[in-house]
Each structure stands twice: as structure tokens, then as C-alpha cells.
Chains A and B, each alone.
Chain A
Amino acid sequence: MKMTCKAMMTAALLFLPGQLAAQNLKIAMESRLSNLDPILSASHQTRDHGYLIYDTLLALDENQKIQPQMVDRYQVSEDGKIYTFTLRDGLKWHDGAPVTAGDAIASIKRWGQRDRMGTELMTIVSEMKAADEKTFTITMSEASSVILDAFAKPSGVTLFIMPERVAATPISEAITDYTGSGPFKFVADRFEPGSQAYYVKNEDYVPRSEPASWFAGGKVAYVDSIERIEMPDPLTAINALNSGEIDYLQTIPFDLLPMVPEGGDTHTDQLDQIGYQLGYRFNSLQQPFDDNLVRQAAMYAIGQEASMLTQFGDPKFFTLCGAAFGCGLPYESDIMADVVVDSNIEKAKELLEQSDYDGETVLIFHVTDLSSMSSIPLVMAQQLEAVGFKVELQSMDFMTMLSRRANKGPVSDNGWSIFVTSWHNLEISDPLRSYMISAAGEDGYAGWASVPEIEELRQTFLRAVTEDERKAIAADIQKLTYENGVFAPLGSFARISGFGPGISGALRTPANVFWNIKKTEG
């Protein structure tokens, strides 16, 4: 009998090597992971690190419907002001302690100081209270269902739940304790910033029973460990993918796509079906863009197609989109979309003629280190010059641009006129989360446009109860945004990822998640 068992085990080992051998998934991401606090840092790399080790109360599924995740169930009072959340059974921190309602409340409080949607939400939250170890209630001064959207929001600053002691860290300080409750554990000893990060499967994680769908459903870790290898050079990363040294490459630059052979063991896929919105904002405080007519003239001049075509080369890699809150998303609207989509040089000249523009220099920040936007300012400059603007480009890396952008002074004093940036479409998909429509003046987002009506409508949106009401408000905001030249979208694009041999099950999510991925040795 003993011999039979042994023989069976041997046979199993021989026939199922892929399933039984410890599986280490080697991944290379687009940029380095440096900050490990996904609440303090809005970096997408930090967010994706967060998805590995933390869990969320609610989550969006592939139909963009809100589903419970750490939460077992939630109830809303009849007046819509009190939400009661009950955590599901089996939730444990990586150190074995149970996840409690107190942990969730502390996490919400910290997140509510940082996230744009969270800070808005906190203005109407009057109380958060634990009813017992697994149940907590949130009471609001006014009825709003935004709370569910905010908790399930997958990007921007995602509401990751941390132990209460960790969530007690002031929001201006980075956390140093990386205990989570997610499907993987972070191995802090093996973290070498700029070189590697290492995660092991959380054997105690109890996935939900539903199938995985975007950020919802069962987060089943099929691999035993994940080794994140930092590769700053995209060509080296593609070579590593082709030679089988890595299993997953987050981004393959469009111009290097032909280097990944089609029909071979490696393959490419666009996991993110939602994509990023590219857009630009004017410095509304300084000449020449303190004049709305000049802003309108520039928007008519720039348009979308020339910039996107130059940047991405092939129309299959981008989509023209005039919706301020993203195309294919709940608050898509075509109001005044033609103003930002179509370049109309004659109209631009006419508007510029009517304005007070007197040959002031337009300084455009030219970010050179991001392959998704490095060519756009060059085209913008050309389009603006065609209608009579005097344009200067200043080249720099993205981080320098963020620092330089804080200067509210005129161009002659190291100031600026236009910057280009990108946000994931899920980060701009409604008026509460989008920074690009910010019109709160000098206290608002860079560009400092001041349109009080937009800010008032955002507050109305926060308090709106029905979806139709919200859609109408969002459309009004888009109209005001374009009428006042607050910002203009340039279109959207999505990244292409690469997969090594034997990799399957990657979810088509708008962020990088590593549950559900299987690796079979060849």
C-alpha cells in the first residue's frame, strides 16, 4: 500500500510539474517603485504595490458595478444618510490578527485627508463609528451615494484598508509598517528601491467565492511569489521578455512593439480597456492665457488629431475623445466636444484677432521622459505658431515639470503657459475626482482657473441622488469647462503589455493586479 501511494505521488509529480513546483512570477513594471505608501503617494506603481498587499472595502467589477470586497454586506438608511458596513468573515492581517471595523474607520480617515474625492466626501461625513468588531456605520449630514463610488474607486488614491496602528500615521509621513490583508505579503527585507521588490503568497487569505472580475470577486493567488525587477531601459526589458527572463512586462512602447514576435511563446495584450486621458491646462493667472479669448483661440488651434497621430503614429493606438470625463464612461458627453477635438485654424485666428494678445511668449513645458507625451508639445507649438502665437518650448523630465509648474509667476519670471499631462480615465471619470476641471482659483489645481460655477456644480454633484441628475450636472460642468478654457482633452490611449511563455489568467483591469495569474513551466 505504501509503495502504491509513493508511486502515485511520483507519477503526480512527473505529470504535474507546473502545478506543484513553487511558482515565482517575475515582473517588470513601467517605472520604479520608490514610495510604499499608497495613500500618501498617488503614483500608479505605488497603487499597484497596494493591490498586491492590501484589500479594499468595495470594488468595481468589469461592468463597472460596485461590488462588496472586504465588506460582506452594506445597508443604507431610508433617508440615505447612514451607511452600515459589515466586514466578511475570515479577514486577517498578514500578522494573523483579525481585521476589525476600527481598522477600516482609521483607514478611511487617513484616506479622506488625501484623496480628492475622499476630502469632498469628508465634508458631509458627520460620524464614523464601530458598532462591533465587524460592523461600522458612517453618518452623513446630507444624503449622497458618492460614498460607494469613492470607496470603490480603483485609482487616484485607492482606499486600501490598513491596520489601525498603521493608518494612525500622519498623512504627511510615509508608513513604515507594510502589514496588509491582501493576497500577497510584502517581504520588506528584500526590498531594494530601484532594484527589486519581493512578495510571497498570503496563505491565510480567504478569497471571495465569486469569480475574479476587475478588482472584485475572488482574488486567488496562483503563484507562490512575485519578484518585481526594476528595468529602467525598455529595450532591455523587451529583450528580457523575449529571452524568458521575465514573465510580465507592464508596458511595451508602441514603437518597440514589432520586437515582440507574434505567434511565438510570448504575446502582447492590452489589459487596460479604459486607458488614459491626455490633456492640457493653461496658466489662467498670467498673460496671455489670463484672457479667455486667447485660451479659446489656442484650443481651436491645437485640436487633437495632429498631436495624437504624431505621438502614437498609428490610429489604432489612440482614440480622439472630446468628453471631459472620458469616452465610454458614465459621464461622457459631446457638449462642445468639437471645440477641443477639431483643429480650426481660421476660427483660432479670428478669436486671436479679437483678443488682447500682443505677442506675449507662450511657454510650453516639454516633458521628454514620458513616451506617452514627449512629442505632443512639439505639435502644439507648431499649431499655435500657425495662428500667430509666439511660442517657446522648455524641455525637462516630468518630475521637474511638476515642480516648475508650482510657479504662478509670469513667463519672464520662470513661469509657464501650458502643461500637458495624463490621468487614467478612471481618475477623471466624474467631476469629484477629476483634477483637470478644477476651477477653484489659486487654491486649486495648477493652471488656477477660476470659475465659481464649476465648483458649485461639483458640490451639487456630491449631493445628487439620482444618476440622471448627476449626468446633467456633469454635462453642465463640461460645457463650462470648455467655455472658460479650463482644460482641453487631447484624446486617450492605452498601454500594451507583454507576457512570457506559460502565463495565463491576467485580468483585463485598468490597473496591474496579479491575482488570478497562472504560470505553467514549459
Chain B
Amino acid sequence: MIGYIARRILSTIPVVGVVAILVFLLLRLSTGDPAVIMAGDSATAAQLAEMRENMGLDQPIWMQFFYWAAQILQGNLGVSLHSNVAVTSMIADRAGPTIALALTTITFSILVAVPMGVIAAWARGTLTDRFVMTLAVLGFSVPVFVTGYALVYVFSLKAGLFPVQGYKEFSDGIGPFATTIVLPSLALSTIYIALIARIARSSVLEVLGEDYIRTARAKGVKERAVFLRHALRNAAVPIVTVIGIGAAFLISGVVVTESVFNIPGLGRLVVESVLARDYPLIQGLILLFSFVYILINLVIDLLYTVFDPRIRY
């Protein structure tokens, strides 16, 4: 197992390398000039040329790439072209809110969606099942920003229970942290609850039709034990897979939520850096995200062994 983990971690290096090359090339080949964006509408051609030279953007692309790669190998992601702040520092400042939002969303989604899906499967064809599935369809269909604004209107503007926007660190106290994270997590959870609940329902239904379930029932095992010990555990692999995929997709989902609730996280930072053509920052963020994707996939693969002992690496 340890050998497998080591091999998987080592295999991330070429993947991240390919991502780095692709991102670098895409950025350099796409329209946009950081010098123009920095100086604004009024800079002359000579002033822009001088700024590009100063930022190293006048060098051939391959030279820019090697310079950047050499910096990366030294653990240096460079400095933002616009704010002169180190990319690592900007990412570190913004990572906290996104991690908190992602963790609370995933936790809340699992806690709500898995029981929902299981109950729907258990009560298949009943009003409960239909109610759960209706909620799931709604969760899929309503955009996150609509849910977000609706939650703000009801719970912040009308009820005054939560702030409209902003984020407080956990270190500021559990109360302030909770008040700023509840609504964004709720808004972002809807789509994941819908996704996980549907997969949980169909997986459990599939397992319930297996021979070993029939055998367990024939042996007189109580229905609750059949459900929890035999059905749910065997249905876990696809549920874990979808949770993992959902966690990876959260990275893109947080962009909208962070904007609606004004949370200064990585999602917003990505959008801002792309609009500003802040090359070092975009490159640093994409590298980070690709690494996170790979890590999530590794964790999912390892979790398979926990739920299904037949899987060995």
C-alpha cells in the first residue's frame, strides 16, 4: 500500500508538469497584455514596451517558461504582476476561506444526502421517495447564485440572522466563523446534496437486488441490519466516487458562491487573476488546483479499499 501511495504521488510530477506547460502556453498564446491592463487606457506604446521588458514579457516564450520553471523548482511561484505581492502569500491568504467552505459544504452534503438517498431507496415508489427526488431535481436545477441570493434575502435581510457578506476566520471565534459560513455552505450544498442523494439512492437500489441481500433476508437477518451492514456498505463505492468528483468540482463551484457572499477565497482569486492576465498568479493557482485534483483522486482510490476489501493495490 505504501509503495502504491508513493508511486501515485510520484506520478503527479509528470501530470503537474504537463499542466504547467499547457497553462503557460495557453496564457501566452491567448489575447491579453498585462502591461496594458496595468497601465490602463492611456499608456503609450513606448511606455508599454518598457513595462513588458521590466516584467520579462519581452523575452521569447521558451525563455520565460524556463525562468518560471526554475523558480517553481525552488518553491517560488513568483510575484503578482499587478500587486507585487508574492503568489504563495496571496494563495495562502485566500486558501483558508475556500478550504473552510469546501469542508463544511462536503460535510453537510454527506450528512444530509446519504440518509436522503438511502431513505428514498428504502421507501422506493412512495411519497417520501418522490419528495426526495423532487428535492434532488430542484437542487440540480436552481443555480447556486439564485439559491444564494434567496438565502440572503430570507435569513440576512429579512430575519437578520446572518451577515449578508464577508468571512471570519475560525480563529476569530466559532460564532463569527459559523455565522459567515452557514449560508454559503447551504447554498453551495444544494447541488451536491442532489448529486449524492441520487447516486446513493440508485446504488442502494442496485445492491438491494443482489443475491446476497436476498440470502441475508432468507437467513432472517433483521431489515435494519440488511440495510446498514450489507446494502449500504456495498453501495458505498459509487457514493464515495461521486463525493470525490463533487469535491473536485467544488473548486469551480466556489467561484460563484464566493462572489455572491463576498468571501475572499481562491475561486474569486482565479477570476480576478484571469481578468487581469496576472500570469504568475494564474499559473500558481492552476498548479495548485491540478495538485488538489490529483490528491483527491488518490484519496478516493484509497478509500475504495476501506469499503471494498476485494480491492487491493
Mark A residues whose CB is within 8 Å of B: 32, 34-36, 40-43, 114, 116, 156-157, 170-174, 176, 191-196, 229-233, 235-237, 239-240, 242-243, 245, 369, 396-397, 399-400, 402-404, 406, 421, 423, 435, 443
21 A-B pairs, CB-CB below 8 angstroms? A34-B272, A34-B276, A42-B42, A43-B40, A170-B54, A172-B50, A173-B54, A191-B85, A194-B269, A195-B264, A232-B259, A232-B268, A232-B272, A233-B260, A233-B262, A240-B165, A243-B160, A245-B166, A399-B277, A403-B32, A406-B45
A195 to B269, CA, bound (A): 9
Task: Answer whether residue B19 sits at the interface, using C-beta atoms and an 8 A cutoff.
Answer: no
CB distance from B237 to the nearest CB of A (A): 39
Inter-subunit contact B41/A435 (CB<8 Å): yes
How far is B32's CA from A399's CA once the two chains are assembled, in angstroms?
Answer: 7
- Are A245 and B54 in contact (CB-based, < 8 A)? no
Q: Is the CB of A397 within 8 A of B39?
A: no
Report if A34-B83 is in contact (Cβ < 8 Å); known contacts: A173-B54, A236-B164, A236-B262.
Answer: yes
Closest Cβ–Cβ distance, residue B6 to chain A (whole Å):
37
Cross-chain contact A192 with B93 (CB below 8 angstroms)? yes
- Which residues of chain B are within 8 angstroms of A233 by Cβ–Cβ distance? 259-260, 262
Q: Is the CB of A36 within 8 A of B83?
A: yes
Interface-central residue, A34, A174, A191, A237, by most chain B CB under 10 Å = A34
Verify B38–A40 contact, CB threshold 8 A. yes
* Inter-chain pairs besides A240-B166, A406-B33, 17 sampled, C-beta below 8 Å: A34-B82, A34-B83, A42-B43, A43-B40, A116-B42, A192-B90, A193-B82, A194-B268, A236-B260, A240-B165, A243-B160, A399-B32, A399-B275, A402-B33, A403-B36, A403-B277, A443-B45
- Cross-interface CB contact of A239 among B37, B84, B85, B157, cutoff 8 Å: B157
Binary per-residue interface labels of chain B (5-33) against chain A in the complex, 1 for a CB within 8 Å, 0 otherwise? 00000000000000000000000000111
Contacts of A193 in B (CB 8 A): 80, 82-83, 85, 90, 272
- Residue from the list B31, B80, B83, B268 in contact with A404, Cβ < 8 A: B31
- The 4 A-B residue pairs with the shortest CB-CB distance in the complex, in nearest-first order: A195-B264, A42-B40, A172-B50, A193-B83
Q: Let me know if B169 is at the binding interface, CB within 8 A.
A: no
The answer to whether residues A236 and B31 also contact, given A243-B157, A243-B163, A435-B42 and a CB cut-off of 8 A, is no
For B149, the closest partner residue in chain A by CB is A235
Determine if B156 and A239 form an interchain contact, defined as CB atoms under 8 angstroms apart: yes
Determine whether B53 belongs to the interface, using a CB cutoff of 8 Å to chain A.
yes
A400 touches B32 (CB 8 A): yes
Least Cβ–Cβ distance between B134 and chain A, in angstroms:
28
Please indicate the chain A residues that have their CB under 8 angstroms from the CB of B264 in the complex: 192, 194-196, 230
Residue interface bits B161-174, CB-to-A below 8 A is 1, else 0: 00111100000000
Instruction: Give the complex CA separation of A170 and B54 in angstroms.
Output: 10
Q: Which residue of chain B is the closest to A174 with respect to CB atoms?
A: B84
In the complex, per-residue mask of B240-278: 1 if CB is within 8 Å of any chain A CB, else 0: 000000000000000000011110100011011001110
A contact residues around B262 at 8 Å (CB): 229-233, 236-237, 240
**Which residues of A lie under 8 Å from residue B152 when comparing CB positions?**
236, 239
Within the complex, the shortest CB–CB distance from B142 to chain A, in Å, comes to: 17
Rounded to whole Å, the gap between the CB of A412 and the closest CB of chain B is 16
Given A229-B262, A242-B157: A403 in contact with B42 (beta carbons within 8 A): no
